[in-house]
Structure 1
Amino acid sequence: MRPADFHSGSRSETGPSIAPRRRLAMLAALLPLLLTCGCLSVGPDFSPPDPLLPPTSFFGKPEPAISTVGSLPPGGPTKSNSAQIDPEWWAAFRDPILTSLASRVVGANLDVQSASVRLAESRFQRGVTASAAFPSVNFSPSYQRELLSQNGILSLASGFTGAPIKVPPISIYQVGFDASWEIDIWGHVRRQIEAAEAEVESSEYQRRDTLVATLAELARDYIELRGAQTQIAIANANLVSSNDILRLTRTRAEKGLTTGLDVENAAAQVESVRAQLPTLENQESSYINALSLLLDEPPGSLRSELARAKPIPPTPPRAPLGVPSELARRRPDIRRAEAELHAATANIGVAVADFYPSVKFNGSVGFNALDLKNLWKGSSLQYQLGPSISLPIFEGGRLKSTLELREAQQQEAYIAYHKTVLQAWHEVVNALVAYRTEQERRASLKAQVDHSRQALMLSRSRYNNGVGDFITVLDAERTVLQAELQHAQSATAVSTDFVQLYKALGGGWELTYPNEDATSVAAAIPLR
């Protein structure tokens, strides 16, 4: 029901001219009708939106999975594997150190811990909101010593008697209970609880999304570390080769078979290769520290565990993509956006309920006496019981503006949901393209490395036999170094693209934070 459809009735029927007895009779007749409508919740009901994801075959046909050797499968492109997404996808690298780090990051990472605290906060907030559905009861004992002023109300009585009236100080003892309960006829409180539960869901999905991002960042940093160590090994191997060429050139110069120019060029090449090492070692240290930060460790604390060089973790032949239509349920950010849309929709119901009358039961029961020994006597009993109805008549446009604000917020939440789904779709497709094209690039770079090494071997042989010049040897050596470094970088990129693909698919949270429905999430025991 829209607020514009609600009519409060004619003022002539409920105005001050109606006798109090008649108003009480009307209220008594109206209350049963209102109470029987207690299950009514005004405002729109939430239904999950259609994410409008592509058909099942979309992810598979345009961007086929590529084998790890970097070439297309025999017979051309094939459809991607639609197997279930592995919740422990990092195990596909078959690297025990990476697996160990991933198991530790869940409990150690500070971002994940902060997300867990925010989830606990949302659950506490839900409890605060839900308390409005229950009566509020207060115990209110009191003691008061009171002296009436002779120049106050007593002076009026003294005007009739002609003599001043003196009242000694009195003590008032009182003990009792005050209770208040607003009947949630229009679903005002129920809509608030619904919005609070949706916020709990949003916090739960935010924690899962934080875990997915943290695991992906951990895997990327670890792979980049192994890539930097591989490049250090390549530079050291080329440094050995350059020193061999320098010694050979010096020997030939001593025998008069070459000039000092070749010796200086060879020495320059040695220093050029050696200059690569500090930058690569700095990268190695940075990635170790980045991994330490993810695990809540001080800088350098993981050096003993990670300093020993290991190969770049290879990717499996295929990356299962699952069913694209399930992407909206796997990715926590999409589910979080849906929960926020749910909360915005429920808040519209809260705003609509403000246009309707509220019914509240108030009461107080207690004992009142001027003497403590008489406090618990039946004659000291006093109570007040009765319902009250409050109907908004003029609010200066506050209620209407609040409703329009909530409707605009719902539209904004839907746009955010649609953008999140669309962005997820783009991320998956982009990750597939990057994964495929980088494998093709890696295959070409591997072939370049093989040809460059053969060219270096031939140029050195010709130079040793005196039929080739030294410049050709230096050029071949530089080409080998650059080709090997680029191949290592590409191998690193293939593995990090594989990580990005799984991040885009939203995998990695299922075992740590299993899927929970809204009720179980809201009722879960808060974290301590």
Structure 2
Amino acid sequence: MTKLYPNTSNIPQGRTLLPLAAALSAALALAACAPIPQLKPAAQAIDASQLGLPAQTSPAPSELTRASAWWVALRDPQLDTIIQRTLAQSPSLAAARARIDRAEAQIESAKAADRVTVGAGFDATYQRFPEHSLYPPPYGGSLRTMSTVQGEVHYDWDFFGRHAAELNMALGQAKAGEADQAAAALMLSAQVARSYLALGRVLAQKTLLTQQINEREEALSLVRQRVVAGLDNAQDKRTAESPLPELRRQALVLDEQAGALRQMLASLSVQDASALRELAPKLPQTLPMAAQGPGLDLLGRRPDVIAARWRVEAAGHQVALARSQFYPNVSLSAFAGYSAIGLDKLLQAGSLQYGLGPSIRLPLFDTGRLSAQLQGSAAEVDAAVAAYNGAVLDAVRDASDQLRTVQSLQEQQREQANLLQNAQASTELQTQRFNAGLGNKLAVLNAHGAVLQQQRMALDLQGQLLESQVSLVRALGGDWHE
């Protein structure tokens, strides 16, 4: 049924506005009828000085920028291609982008709440009007069509910040989503880089191991010749044979590791492993970037920390939204159109109707539910602050641990370099003795075998250092910053 509205065109304008103003004043006065509960003190975020970070001297930045590709510093086109494909094809990043799109839709919805809404409609109902009703004959007791066509305008005034709180909460959630996406991208790029460098280390190890096996086989052949000549015995032969099975076993392990790393890279970059069958990364000596320790800007570069901070902001605006529910909701509606009994009279001047009036809603007897909502929102703030504090602690610990590992591996490399230098010096000495006719080829091979073993250990340290540096880059937030 279509509502009939009285025609207000003949009512003096002053008489119309005075009751509206009185009603609005009464609504504002009655707002005190919805008491707002007293909340306990909110949880506090960890201060940087508590964690040994420098004191903050400037306000925390508030605008997010997307990170540059930190991995390009390695200057490896193959790695660039794999990481770019990973970031483009990753299901987890696609899900993160979908969450951002949803948050942006919520922002648009919050913005729309502060705009004037305009609508239009047409209704037509064929019905019987009863004799005993407000419709006199000939309408009472007859079958007729009740029709209405009109336009409506509605505006909801944001006197108490409800719309602003909704918008700010949606903005905070969207920013948290952007930071989550950046955190996922950073994690994925670091995982790909570590796997790529690990594959390079395994392949380099396989090259040294193959050379080691070849020299052990050459040494075994010389021992066999010496046994035939009576210069060595069966025990010497068994001693020369014993390293080969272990070296061949290590070769099988390296082949298995290379296959697993190629499969991991293929899975991360969403492609078939056969596409990476010929992938052969070359290990750089070190990452061409300075390894800085965790400073205050760590909290502005770690996307997971920034996401947690934005969730604290969004939760604070949710409290403001819950608090605004205790105040009156004031809106203004206007309509104009035609309403008539019978379609033939619908657009006649006598069918014209229009109206204008406020709508006031007071939370007089619903404060129990509103109080629960407010207290629940305050608890969400405490939970968000606790999550932020946990993210800060994890970030500082993670960055400190990775930096400590990098420093330790660098010290180990210096000691390993001394061992390798000693082994190379011993090999040079044996080679000089062999060239002077004072030694045999077997001594040279044994000495060079020690060099290869030290080179393999140095290669392991180099690979571990590179992977730890990538982990440090991740722990420091890459180049992603506010």
Relative to the length of structure 1, the TM-score reads: 0.72
Name the counterpart of 1:206.
180
Alignment of 1:429 with 2:400, yes or no, is yes
Residue identity in the other structure for 1:174 = T
The answer to whether the Cα contact below 8 Å between 1:94 and 1:313 also exists between their aligned partners in 2 is no
- CA RMSD in angstroms comes to 4.0
Name the counterpart of 1:182.
156
Name the counterpart of 1:135.
116
The answer to whether the Cα contact below 8 Å between 1:442 and 1:487 also exists between their aligned partners in 2 is yes
- Mapped to 1, the partners of 2:272 and 2:396 lie a distance apart of 37
* 1:19-98 map, 5 Å: 27-29=20-22, 31=24, 51-52=47-48, 54-55=52-53, 87-98=68-79
The answer to whether the Cα contact below 8 Å between 2:183 and 2:304 also exists between their aligned partners in 1 is yes
TM-aligned CA deviation for residue 87 of structure 1? 4.7
Using a 3 Å threshold, how does the CA distance of structure 1 residues 394 and 481 change in structure 2: closer, same or farther? farther
The answer to whether the Cα contact below 8 Å between 1:212 and 1:503 also exists between their aligned partners in 2 is yes
State the identity as a percent: 26
- Mapped to 2, the partners of 1:23 and 1:367 lie a distance apart of 22
- Mapped to 1, the partners of 2:265 and 2:256 lie a distance apart of 14
Using a 3 Å threshold, how does the CA distance of structure 1 residues 166 and 416 change in structure 2: closer, same or farther? closer
Using a 3 Å threshold, how does the CA distance of structure 1 residues 386 and 89 change in structure 2: closer, same or farther? closer
Alignment of 1:263 with 2:269, yes or no, is no
TM-aligned CA deviation for residue 229 of structure 1? 0.8
| Cα deviation code 1:375-401 (max 9, x no counterpart) | 111111223432122111222721111
Residue identity in the other structure for 1:248 = L
| Cα deviation code 1:346-373 (max 9, x no counterpart) | 0111111111111122343321223323
The answer to whether the Cα contact below 8 Å between 2:125 and 2:145 also exists between their aligned partners in 1 is yes
The answer to whether the Cα contact below 8 Å between 2:87 and 2:185 also exists between their aligned partners in 1 is yes
Q: Which moved more, 1:99-108 or 1:180-189?
A: 99-108
The answer to whether the Cα contact below 8 Å between 2:208 and 2:456 also exists between their aligned partners in 1 is yes
Give the secondary-structure state (helix, strand or coil) at the position aligned to 2:208.
Answer: helix
| Cα deviation code 1:457-516 (max 9, x no counterpart) | 989999xx9999x9x999989866654433222111111121122212212346xxxx5x
Give the secondary-structure state (helix, strand or coil) at the position aligned to 1:133.
Answer: coil
Name the counterpart of 2:352.
381
- Mapped to 2, the partners of 1:240 and 1:425 lie a distance apart of 48
- Mapped to 2, the partners of 1:156 and 1:174 lie a distance apart of 20
Q: Of the candidates 138, 142, 165, which is equivalent to residue 191 of structure 1? A: 165
Alignment of 1:400 with 2:381, yes or no, is no
Give the secondary-structure state (helix, strand or coil) at the position aligned to 2:408.
Answer: helix
Give the secondary-structure state (helix, strand or coil) at the position aligned to 2:365.
Answer: coil
* 1:295-374 map, 5 Å: 295-304=269-278, 306-307=279-280, 310=282, 312-315=283-286, 319=290, 321=292, 324-374=295-345
Alignment of 1:114 with 2:95, yes or no, is yes
- Mapped to 2, the partners of 1:424 and 1:381 lie a distance apart of 68
- Mapped to 1, the partners of 2:362 and 2:429 lie a distance apart of 97
Q: Of the candidates 206, 210, 231, which is equivalent to residue 205 of structure 2? A: 231
Using a 3 Å threshold, how does the CA distance of structure 1 residues 316 and 207 change in structure 2: closer, same or farther? closer
- Mapped to 1, the partners of 2:417 and 2:293 lie a distance apart of 31
Q: Which moved more, 1:399-408 or 1:165-174?
A: 165-174
| Cα deviation code 1:230-282 (max 9, x no counterpart) | 11112111110111112112212222333334334433422221111121112
Name the counterpart of 1:441.
412
Using a 3 Å threshold, how does the CA distance of structure 1 residues 155 and 382 change in structure 2: closer, same or farther? closer
Using a 3 Å threshold, how does the CA distance of structure 1 residues 475 and 240 change in structure 2: closer, same or farther? closer
* 1:455-494 map, 5 Å: 483-494=454-465
- Mapped to 2, the partners of 1:445 and 1:320 lie a distance apart of 21
Using a 3 Å threshold, how does the CA distance of structure 1 residues 137 and 232 change in structure 2: closer, same or farther? same
Query: Structure 1: where are the runs of 5+ without partners?
Result: 1-21, 36-41, 59-85, 516-528
Residue identity in the other structure for 2:97 = S
- Mapped to 1, the partners of 2:479 and 2:133 lie a distance apart of 82
The answer to whether the Cα contact below 8 Å between 1:95 and 1:313 also exists between their aligned partners in 2 is no
Give the secondary-structure state (helix, strand or coil) at the position aligned to 1:297.
Answer: coil
Give the secondary-structure state (helix, strand or coil) at the position aligned to 1:186.
Answer: coil
Using a 3 Å threshold, how does the CA distance of structure 1 residues 93 and 351 change in structure 2: closer, same or farther? same
Residue identity in the other structure for 1:233 = T
| Cα deviation code 1:198-232 (max 9, x no counterpart) | 11111111122222222222221111111111111
Tell me the number of residue pairs that the alignment of Structure 1 and Structure 2 aligns. 438
Alignment of 1:294 with 2:268, yes or no, is yes
Name the counterpart of 1:411.
382
Alignment of 1:497 with 2:442, yes or no, is no
The answer to whether the Cα contact below 8 Å between 2:74 and 2:288 also exists between their aligned partners in 1 is no
